[in-house]
Structure 1
Amino acid sequence: MQKRNNLLKVIQADDPMARDNLTIVVEFILLGFSDLPNLQGFLFAVFFIIYISILIGNGLLIIITKIDPSLQTPMYFFLGNFSFLEICYTSVTLPRMLADLWTQKRTISFLQCAVQTCSLYILGVAECLLLAVMAYDRYVAICKPLYYPLIMNRRICIQLVVVSWIFGVPVLVEETYQIFCLNFCGPNKLNHIFCDAPPLLELACGDTYKREISVHVAALAFVIIPFLLILTSYVKIIITILRLPSTSGRSKAFSTCSSHLIVVSLFYGSGSIVYLRPKSHHSTGSVKVFALFYTTVIPMFNPFIYSLRNKDVIAALRKLCPK
């Protein structure tokens, strides 16, 4: 009985009419990869290596964009901020996941779950907006090169980054508050790798339809609108590139956008599968895989995508890490 109490940690509601039938969950259990008991050590090693790779790779990009004189341009200013954002984004989920794999405890308090959910959403929206800002930067550079220094001056760049970070905070804090104000009076096992709205809503008691609609509306607003801005920017960029007279000019112009396009495709592709597809098509296994993809795998590959396809970044890394 004591073990069950320690595991579930639920308390009876104060309402005397519902005391016999209703309990309030004060702690959740993140099931994660508990269905793979023989692979816990292996998974810990894999995710530990991934996390270290994310810290080192994105950390190097931050350093070289700050200290290398040839990278003191708006494009690399945004790239440095994007790398810092990726480190923050993965640090919301990966350390907790590693701790769960190491200790096999898997419990997370109600407050910690709320903080993790809110932080994940704020940083995810910031990433969507920053990707849109980076696309706009490429649009101005290619479509309006003569006005580029004027439009993308230092003050504007800083303002765009600040807006990307804080724009969605009030709405997302309110959304998170509304989710955790629901009654969680039954099972407290989240069949996911981190706290997220879809599995939380499945555990909530009563009618959650309005809250599900609210989550989808917020996702559409903060995900689709930046995506449309990115799409519009690249349509105009492609039209401009195709009008360039020389093949070498077209190749050079496209090379400056290809890395960003790859990252946008991977991030939006995996995120859309998790949040925007119909609930009837959800598979727990596939949701976990795609959630891992956009919260872990993409941040690990971002430094490689941006460095291997960018001669300026490669040159700066060689200067920073000589033979």
Structure 2
Amino acid sequence: MSFFKKLKESIAAKTEAVTSKFRDGLAKTRDAFVGQVADLFSRRKKIDEAFFEELEEILIGADVGVNTVMTLIDELRDEVKKRRIEEPAQLQPILSEKLVGLLKGSGEETGLKMNPDGITVILFVGVNGVGKTTTIGKLAHRFKQEGKSVLLAAGDTFRAGAIEQLEVWGQRVGVDVIRQAAGSDPAAVMFDAVQAAKQRNVDVLLCDTAGRLQNKANLMEELSKIYRVIQREIPSAPHETLLVLDAATGQNALQQAKLFGEKSGVSGLVLTKLDGTAKGGIVIAIRNELSLPVKFVGLGEKMDDLQAFDAEQFVHALFAGLAADEPEASE
């Protein structure tokens, strides 16, 4: 077998594995949301006001978000008129197409911004319990798999056990953790971590922070201090500030994203625990209502279950087995 054939097969196998993870990870959302959509499209014989009202209820119930749903329904009405669609079945591929469009947004880069001139610093923010430390561990594993050297900074010095939890992940992944004693100044930890990253010439520094309540001014000020310390040492850093959200909290995740986005310079989102919730529609709401790209989604508990977000894979996995055989909409 030629090298290129082996490479092609290897890429195909990896693509199928990622697609399978999205499909499996979105099973609960698919059962709750897409099952209802499929039932509506097959049960209703014509596209009328009652059809749109029921579709609206299903989408809102799946945590797609009221504002997003209104926009989506208006766009579908326009498509029905423009393409002269009469049968609901013809609308299903158009719904998929519109959802992909909403998730892609204005087309900004969804991959991580990496520093081409040295250490890439990534800061993680979010409230307690959303899976922030676990996300850092999984991302460290991902970078290691790519052949990059990684260092972790234990900047959550307040939560009992937070430093130890990060150290456990460091041991699992095989990367060092820069830490101080519990209760230390987080900005001092970041200073030490940046110095260590420079001395060791690492590729990536991943920084944990306290799970702060977004309405606590002192904690937001502490985050600003962390920024200043990092930027003084590496002027272009942090290269990403990722807000970690628990998808299972639905609309509450959207509220957290709005408040954090306003106050902490968030550049992207990580949505965890998608596999454990039927509220996967919140990904669409957050993406559409905030000008922030979703960078990663958590689709399980295994080390490699943190997946780079892909709008088309997300929607195709959502509609897996339902939209494949639908007729194409007439022009």
| More strand by percentage | 2
Query: Higher RCO, 1 or 2 (CA under 8 Å, sep at least 6)?
Result: 2
| More helix by percentage | 1
Please report the TM-score for the alignment, with normalisation by the length of structure 2. 0.22
Please report the TM-score for the alignment, with normalisation by the length of structure 1. 0.22
